[in-house]
Amino acid sequence: MKQFWLYLCCVMLLASCGGNLTRSTEINVLCSGHEQRCMASAKLFGEKYGIKVNFVRMSTGEALARLSERKNDPEFDVWWGGPIDSYIIAKEEGLFSAYNSPSYVNLADEKYKDPDNFWVGTYVGPLAFCTNTDWLKANPTVTPPQSWADLLKPDFAGQIMIAHPATSGTAFTFVSTILQLRGEVEGWNYLHQFSDQVAQFTKAGTTPCELAGKGEAAVGIIFAPAILENIHDRKLPLTLTFPEEGTGYEIGGLAVMAGAKHLDAAHLWVDWLITPEVQGEYEIFGYQGVSVKGVTLRYPELLQVKLIDYDFIWSADHKDEFVKKFTQEIATADNLLK
């Protein structure tokens, strides 16, 4: 009987480790955040746990497509970064493995976690406008946009940069925000007019304000924390404003992949990221609003901006439809700026 119980314990231990008692020495991370943040997280995690982090950086739309293509032979152990609209879709496609991390007790709000534990939020950031201050000096009668309506002014014709929603979660959040604010009929009418103001669509969501800061456009539309990074860290000549009607926002997701080859390391990655110690690391989270309690935010006012009641479920349910309509009727994804 004693031998039986010993055998049973071994079987249960093997099962809990995915049939492998050997601790993983590496982890494969698909990262949809800013590349510098991806690199910082890889460095700090590796130093703390002695685990080699292999990461690939992709925009959210590209990442979801890649994960879907490799569903039966997953390349990655975790996906981190980018708006949760795409994580909701990935959950529905069966791409994730549920994980109830002990670190979830640190979360500041229940909205930061999937009720079935398939994804968790790590940071929060509202959509905003960045405007080149040198351009404003050269055009003294123009003020930075203060509303979504302002973007349609003749002053900004051919002067706006934004990513394409087919490749960028940031841009899709913009599309969904307009449609939720204005309704679908008026919203699509606005998006048609808006597209006439755009100089060119970019591939990555963070690129528009970098280009605006370099003088290649007057205005960029991205999430506010990245604008602050461009202003304070890169010293680009930009100013930050928010739409007075209210703005959409992202919850930056994190999930363990179904079929992860380094499951123990994937779980450890989640446990580690959902802590105040890590979310307080500037190198990783920068100016973001974060999802856990116990962190002193660098810009707490970002969480006090007028936000719309952004419906992530509705947004996810209509993503394919809206991206297809945008691409066919408004702007093609060919020859996107990097």
pLDDT of residue 13: 42
Closest Cα partner for 310 from 97, 123, 125, 138? 125
Q: What is the model's pLDDT at position 43?
A: 96
Predicted local distance difference test score (pLDDT) of residue 4: 34
pLDDT of residue 302: 86
Q: Which two tokens stand for residue 119?
A: 């994804």
Model-level pTM? 0.86
Locate the domains of the chain by residue range: 12-123+250-298, 125-249+308-329
Q: Which CATH architecture has domain 12-123+250-298?
A: 3-Layer(aba) Sandwich (3.40)
Instruction: Tell me which DSSP letter residue 338 carries.
Output: -
pLDDT in tens, the chain (338 residues): 444 333 334 434 444 444 445 799 999 999 998 888 999 999 999 999 999 999 999 989 899 999 999 999 999 999 999 999 999 999 999 999 999 999 999 999 999 999 999 999 999 999 999 999 999 999 999 999 999 999 999 999 999 999 999 999 999 999 999 999 999 999 999 999 999 999 999 988 889 999 999 999 999 999 999 999 999 999 999 999 999 999 999 999 999 999 999 999 999 999 999 999 999 999 999 999 999 999 998 898 888 899 999 999 999 999 999 999 999 998 765 556 66
pLDDT value of residue 336: 64
What is the C-alpha separation between 221 and 47, in angstroms, rounded? 35
Question: Of 151, 169, 194, which Cα lies nearest the Cα of 329?
Answer: 194
Quick check: do 12-123+250-298 and 125-249+308-329 share a fold? Answer: yes
CA angle 151, 173, 128 (to 5 degrees): 45
Q: Which CATH number applies to 125-249+308-329: 3.30.430.20, 3.40.190.10, 3.40.50.300, 1.20.120.80? A: 3.40.190.10
- Listed residue (300, 310, 317) closest to 174, CA to CA: 310
d(CA 54, CA 9): 33
pLDDT of the residue at 333: 56
Nearest-CA neighbor of 222 among 237, 236, 206, 210?
A: 206
Describe the crossing of helices 319-329 and 169-182 by its angle, rounded to 10 degrees. 90
